[in-house]
Amino acid sequence: MTNVLILGANGGLARNTTRVLLEREDVALTLFLRAAKRLRNPDPGSVTLIEGDVLDTDALRTAMQGQDVVYANLSGDMAPQAESIISAMHDTGLKRLIFISSMGIYGEVPGEKYRSILDPYRDSAALIEASDLDYTVLRPGWFTREPEGRYTITQKGEPFQGHDISLDSLSGLIAKIATTPGLYVRNSIGVSDR
């Protein structure tokens, strides 16, 4: 059984990934979000809801007890959130982190010039990459509602391929990474349908 803690569990991608992970019998979920009343527990028998703020490192430490994987799906001022996650993971001895960022944080999308809108994603990814965690930073394209299909993965330093990614494809990849030890460890990967 893989115990997965989802931070920012009320986001659209996180909710979709929760659905995908619940289709697996080898995963137990803990959903962490600021206002738990905004999210209906999708399976009270196997899903735990925790109300808390990612900036509250003590609350994160508590939520991380007994977990195998942390999947962070955050927004806003992400660098302090990343620092809090790294600190709590160090304190609890937890190593595996899947962190959602954005395409374009390295200027890797041909023909695109992204400005300050990506700073929170860029800054938080830099902190994660400088840590000693077993991280995977995912840099997806824009989300679509297309059915799950093939996708392209690019490594940091390679030009981003394509532009969009279906939510189902990305959620399937997150589930695969969460349940496959060593997959894309200490990698920052771009993901798009192509």
Q: Which of 6, 85, 11 is nearest to 47 (CA)?
A: 6
Q: Are 54 and 29 spatial neighbours (Cβ–Cβ below 8 Å)?
A: no
Domains located in the chain, CATH noted = 2-192 (3.40.50.720)
- Predicted model pTM: 0.96
pLDDT digits over 80-131, tens only? 999 999 999 999 999 999 999 999 999 999 888 777 889 999 999 999 999 9
How, if at all, do strands 164-166 and 96-100 pair? unpaired
State pLDDT tens for residues 37-47.
899 899 888 89
Please give the helix or strand (H or E) that residue 60 lies within, else none. helix 57-64
Helix (H), strand (E) at residue 58: helix 57-64
